[in-house]
Amino acid sequence: MAEIPTLPRNPSVYLMTSSRLLVMAFVIVLLAGCAGRELATREEPGELSIDRAMILAEAKRALGTPYRLGGTTDRGLDCSGLVQRTYSRAGIRVPRTSRQQFEALPRVDEARPGDLLFFATAGGGKPSHVGIYLGDGEMIHAPGRGRRVTTTALALDYWQERFLGAAAPAP
């Protein structure tokens, strides 16, 4: 006949086990909270508004422009300067910085071409980068010093892990 195992008489064993479980649960919750939002997109072929078509045309014209911190001209653009200039030329005013844009503009669950995509690239979970969703899983953005306005695939883990949300200033 099998013996029934006995439990240790030392209560500190239970306390250590409970503490470990509590710490593990806390770490799991913390890691889940650090995960970014899912980057969801919606394609509507042939259904772009005039505003969105103008935004995308202006953003494409900026391709190849050098990156320049604080830049808003053909001599150089930073990410939020690209957005501000592109939207301004389509007749839509947006705030200057990516953080201001993220806080002020109406959020959407699914990005459509012409919408803004926000990322926490500088750590701390706050918006520090913005791009314009081009469609087909790509965005146009000003990536940083020494580079030029370009397109990039959103399927890259880098963007997926840092995505904060999307906004739709255009109708």
Task: Give the catalytic positions in this structure.
Answer: 79, 129, 141
Spatial neighbors of 128 by CB under 8 A, at least 6 apart, are 98, 99, 119, 120, 121, 122
Instruction: Sort strands 76-77 and 72-73 into parallel, antiparallel or unpaired.
Output: antiparallel
**How is 40-57 classified by DSSP, letter by letter?**
-B---TT---HHHHHHHH
Which tokens in the block code for residue 59? 């953003």
Using alpha carbons, select from 40, 36, 37 the residue that is nearest to residue 137.
40
What is the rounded CA–CA span in Å between residue 7 and residue 28?
Answer: 29
Cα 130 to Cα 112: distance, rounded to the nearest angstrom: 15
Q: Which residues pair with 117 in a beta bridge?
A: 131, 166
